[in-house]
Amino acid sequence: QVQLVESGGGLVQAGGSLRLSCEASGRTFSRCTMGWFRQAPGKEREFVAAISWSGGTTYDEDFVKGRFTISRDNAKNSVYLKMNSLKPEDTAVYYCAARPAGRSISPRELDYDYWGQGTQVTVSS
């Protein structure tokens, strides 16, 4: 079992930056693929980025376009999402998610078994 707690959301002006953090409980974190998803009001939840246990990464390139960076620190049981050049359309609740230990990197929401409660990111114009 993995429990996830996100932090770092808030209100930022367009063009600004935020770094989201997700701290995980459980002894298998270092072997888990981790992902970030987001859900804007009235929209479905969508994939943002993922990082494998070995550090490989993948991003949704439709809107990320080099602005976001996912990273992890296994010693701290944490995964991060650094977001630069934020736009009002990035406003959403951002969720951290984990796959079961040993599973490969994936952008599919259904592949993730564990979810955090979400952290709100609001970008003002």
pLDDT (average), residues 101-125: 96
How is residue 63 written in tokens?
A: 């809107």
pLDDT(38) > 90? yes
CA dist., res. 3 & res. 70, Å (int): 19
**Model pLDDT for residues 66-99, shown as the tens digit of each residue:** 999 999 999 999 999 999 999 999 999 999 999 9
pLDDT(1) > 80? no
pLDDT(27) > 80? no
More confident residue, 1 or 38: 38
